[in-house]
Amino acid sequence: MSKIKIFVAGHKGMVGSAIIRCLLKKNKKFDIITKNRNKLDLTNQQSVKNFFKKEKIDQIYLTAAKVGGILANSTYPASFIYENLMIEANIINSAFESGVKRLLFFGSSCIYPKFSNQPIKENDLLTGSLEPTNEPYSIAKIAGIKLCESYNRQYGKKYGIDYRSIMPTNLYGPGDNYDLKDCHVIPALIRKFHEAKTKKLPKVLVWGSGNQKREFLHVDDLADASFKIMNLEKKIYYKNIDLMCSHINVGFGSDLSIKALANLVKKITQYKGKIEFDTSKPDGMKKKLLNNKKILSYGWKPKYSLEEGLKRTYRDFLTKKI
């Protein structure tokens, strides 16, 4: 039996590297294909077409994306929408043209309306206005979902393609980005508290009021969910979804305030100073918790508690040269 040839797009990112760790742990022997950015520009249509024509891929984990926190999204909105649209359009179309039957697209919980009911269900998509601070990124991710759905609807029966989408909640873990200019909240807090401890600073300044609530999932838990969704039989996968709303939320199932999160990171990093909240900075959405009933119904559940996951993440941070 020939090996399954799997392309992990974005393999150097936090999600992509977790997918590779997951694949390597499985009993099956996969032929994992990766390409560095200097070897394959995913925003270049012809380069992507040539790559797929040459490699004859069986499955794709489409984790490649331009990502960042509130500051990065606010500073580079054109870059966020353009690069993400180009990456997903090039890969999905070239996958279809080259005969790839199975693809998994990774979105983000920011696709949902700013004032969604909580916890957010998959069918809440496109029912209201988006959070302005990351609207361009959100629209690009929504387009990725709809690309997958549209290709399935037009070509699924005739060509046997099955392109799926999952929407992770806020992620953290090994391989995260700790650059304070464009990182997310957990790596930002880890770096701030660690440096404050090292420099013996009296306080750490945290963006926003601290009252906003967020849900967090360890990236290795997402990787396990991704592998399960990718390999579900069609009849099982489509039991809980329809062709016009086929994406699946992947969340931890509970949230906490940023204030509570900051105190937890303070404890894990063993920082002894004070926490001060900068209310002149934006909070973003007040609450963002995903309804994860569908992914749970497929037999998946997260393994890492937030505290255990943060401890593992901090150990990983300590190995980095920041």
User: How do residues 278-317 score in pLDDT, each as one tens digit?
Assistant: 999 877 778 889 999 999 999 999 999 999 999 999 999 9
Distance of CA 208 to the CA centre of its chain: 23
End-to-end CA distance of the chain: 45
Q: Which residue has the tokens 């900075």?
A: 281
Bridge partner list, 165: 105
> Looking at residue 184, what is its pLDDT?
83
User: Strand ranges (DSSP E) for the chain?
Assistant: 4-9, 30-33, 59-62, 102-106, 162-168, 170-172, 203-207, 213-214, 216-218, 248-250, 256-257, 274-278, 287-288
> Looking at residue 111, what is its pLDDT?
95
Q: Specify whether the CB–CB gap between 263 and 306 falls below 8 A.
A: no
Cα 248 from Cα 266, distance rounded (Å): 33
Q: What is the DSSP letter of 303?
A: -
Distance of CA 101 to the CA centre of its chain: 22
Mean pLDDT of 59-78: 88
Cα 278 from Cα 261, distance rounded (Å): 15
Token output for 125 = 């998509």
Give residue-wise pLDDT tens across range 191-215: 999 999 999 999 999 989 999 999 9
Domains and CATH numbers, the chain: 4-172+216-253+288-303 (3.40.50.720)
3-state class (DSSP) for residue 157? helix
69: Cβ–Cβ under 8 A, 6 or more apart, which residues? 182, 183, 184, 185, 188
Q: How many CB atoms lie within 10 A of CB 63?
A: 26
Token output for 65 = 């994306």
Cα 129 from Cα 28, distance rounded (Å): 43
Give residue-wise pLDDT tens across range 153-187: 999 999 999 999 999 999 999 999 898 877 789 99
Residues catalogued as catalytic? 137
